[in-house]
Amino acid sequence: MPKVSQDHLDARRRQILDGARVCFARHGYEGATVRRLEETIGLSRGAIFHHFKDKESLFLALAEDDAVRMAEVVAEQGLVQVMRDLLAGSSPQLVDWLGTRLEVSRRLRTEEDFRRRWAERSEQLTQATRERLRRKLAAGELRDDVDIEVLTSFLELVLEGLTSRLAMGMPAAGLEPVLDLVEETTRRRRR
Domain boundaries, the chain: 55-186
Mean pLDDT of 43-48: 93
Backbone dihedral angles phi then psi of residue 5, each to the nearest 5 degrees: -70, 155
pLDDT score recorded for residue 75: 85
Neighbours of 37 (CB within 10 A): 23
Say whether pLDDT at 125 is over 60.
yes
Say whether pLDDT at 9 is over 70.
yes
Full-model pTM: 0.74
Tell me the pLDDT tens digit for each residue of 102-111.
778 888 888 8
Mean pLDDT of 45-71: 87
Say whether pLDDT at 165 is over 70.
yes
Say whether pLDDT at 167 is over 80.
no
DSSP 125-150: HHHHHHHHHHHHHHTT-B-SSS-HHH
d(C-alpha 17, C-alpha 23), whole Å: 10
pLDDT score recorded for residue 36: 96
Task: Considering the domain delimited by 55-186, tell me its CATH architecture.
Answer: Orthogonal Bundle (1.10)
Percentage, residues of the chain above pLDDT 90? 41
